[in-house]
Homo-oligomer: A and B are copies of this chain.
Amino acid sequence: MQLTPATPAFEATLRATLPAPVFRPLEPRYLEEPRGKFHGADALVLAPGSVEEVSTIIGRAQGERVAVVPYGGGTGLVCGQVAPDLPRPILLTLERMNGIRALHAADNVIEVEAGAVLAHVQDEAEAAGRLFPLSLASEGTAQIGGLLATNAGGVNVLRYGNARDLCLGIEAVLPDGTVLRGLKRLYKDNTGYDLRHLLCGSEGTLGIITAASLKLSPRPRATGAAVLQVESPKAALSLLEITRQVAAEGVSAFELIHRTGQAFLAEVMPQVRLPFGTLPEWVTLIELGVSAGPPPEELLTEIFEKAAEAGLVSDGVVAQSERQRLAFWEMRESIPVANRLIGAICSHDISVPVSIVPEFIDRAFRLVPDVGPFRINCFGHLGDGNLHFNVYPPKGEARSAYMDRAPEVVRRVHDLVHALGGSFSAEHGVGRLKVGDLEHYGDPGRLAAMRAIKAALDPAGIMNPGAVLTR
C-alpha cells in the first residue's frame, strides 16, 4: 500500500480542525534515538491534547494514507520511534497528554495519560502510600504510553511482572480513528478478546495508547540491598536459589554485573562509586522488599553467610543505609550511560530460561573472540533470564574499525539464543532494528497471524510502518 506524505495541504486541513498547540516545530530531539543507529527525517510534529484530537489526526491520516509514528519519551533502544525512510510522516507525540487522571488508593489503581513520565507516576503512587513497581534506567524520561506499547521490563519484573502485567485497562485510538474505551479498573473482566494485551507490545503498529489504568502494589515496609561477589554465573544462579529460600517472595530484583561493566564505570564515570576496590569478575545486586518478619539487612546477611558457607560468594556488602542502597543502584543504572560513552559495536537484549543463563554466558563469551578481539559487557536481570550482552572494540581502538564485524557477532549471538529456546529481544522490543531478526527467528505461524492482524486493523498500513513487521 502506497503511503503519501503529510503535505502542506494536508497540514492545512488539520489546522482548520485542531487548535494551535497541537502543531509543534520539528525539534532535533524527535529525530534522534539513544544509540544513534537511526536518524529521523522530515516529519509533521503533532502534539494532541486529548484522545479526541488523537482520533481526529489518525482518522485523517488513514483517509489520506499518511504514516503516523508515535513518540513517547524517545528512550526506546530499537528505533521504534525513529523512521528515516517514510514519506513525510506525522510524528505524533503524547507529551501534552501527561496528566494523572485519577488515583484510586482503595482499588490500588492509578489512571494516567500516555505522556506521563514514569518517575512522575512512581511519585504519585508513593504519595498515596502505594508502589508503582515498573522501574528502569530511563524512568526519568520514559513515558507510560511508550512503556506499555513496548511492554517495558526493567529491574522489578522478577517480582511484579512486565509493563503489560501492570496494566488493567487501556484507552487507545485504533488505526481507523476509532477510540477504544477500555479504561476500566477491574481485576477480572472476561468479556472477549484482550485488546489491551494486543496493544501492549505492538510498538505503535496497531494503534496509539492514550491512557491506561495501572495496578499499584502495597509498598514493602522495608527495602534493603546487597552486592555480593560470585565466581561465576552458575554460582549466581545458586545464590538466587538461596535468596529465594531465605526471602521467598520478598525478592524484588536480582541483577548480575560483569567486571567489564564496573571497569567502564571506573574509566568514563569515575564519580560513580563502586562497591569493591578490586573489581570482581561477577557481582550480583540483590534487592529485597519485605513487609513482615526480620528486616531486609538481617535476611541479606543470612543470604550472604549461607552463600559464603556454600562457597558461592567470596565477598559482599549489605547496604547499611538508604544512601548506600541507592549508591548500589546508581552503579547498576549508570552502566548503560557508561556503555554509550565507550561506544558498543553491537548490543543484545536477550533472554533464555533462567536455568540456562550460565550455559548461554559460557558459550557466548567463547564465540565472540572468534569474530574479533572484543570486550564484552554482560549484565542484566538474572532473575528473569534477561541479559544485556554488549560488545566493544579493544581498549584504545576506534569502534569504526570494527563495525563491519557487528552483523557477524549479532548473528552468532542470536543463533545461540535461538538454539537455547531464548528470545532475541527480551525487553526492548523489535522496533526497526530487529525486524530482520523477527523474520528470521520468529515462528512462521505466529508471523502469519501477526500479519493478518496488522492487515485487519490497519489495512492502509499507516501505523508506525516498518516497525515490528516489514512494510
By a beta-carbon cutoff of 8 Å, the part of chain A in contact with chain B is 104, 106-109, 150-151, 153, 157-158, 161-162, 164-165, 174, 178-182, 184-195, 197-198, 200-202, 206, 217-218, 220-221, 237, 241, 244, 247-250, 290-294, 299, 351-355, 381, 384-386, 421-430, 434, 437-438, 441-450, 452-457, 468-469
Contact = CB atoms under 8 A, between A and B. Distances in A.
> What number of copies of this chain does the assembly contain?
2
Q: Which 8 A-B pairs have the closest CB atoms?
A: A293-B293, A248-B291, A292-B293, A197-B197, A456-B456, A188-B426, A106-B355, A189-B423
B445 A179 contact: yes
Given A190-B150, A191-B438, A201-B192, A178 B449 contact: yes
Given A354-B106, A445-B179, A448-B178, A385 B191 contact: no
Given A247-B292, A452-B456, A104 B423 contact: no
Task: Give the one of A188, A424, A428 with max B CB within 10 A.
Answer: A188
Contacts of A192: 201, 430, 438, 442, 446-447, 450, 468-469
Task: Give the one of A158, A162, A198, A241 with max B CB within 10 A.
Answer: A198
Contacts of A292: 247-248, 250, 290, 292-294, 299
Contacts of A237: 106
Contact of A452 (B150, B200, B247, B457): B457
B449 A185 contact: no
A221 B201 contact: no
B450 A453 contact: no
Contacts of A150: 190
B384 A190 contact: no
A421 B162 contact: no
A186 B355 contact: no
23 contacts: A106-B354, A108-B354, A157-B188, A158-B187, A165-B165, A174-B445, A174-B448, A178-B444, A178-B445, A178-B449, A180-B449, A186-B353, A187-B384, A187-B386, A190-B426, A191-B441, A193-B206, A193-B453, A197-B197, A249-B249, A292-B294, A292-B299, A453-B456
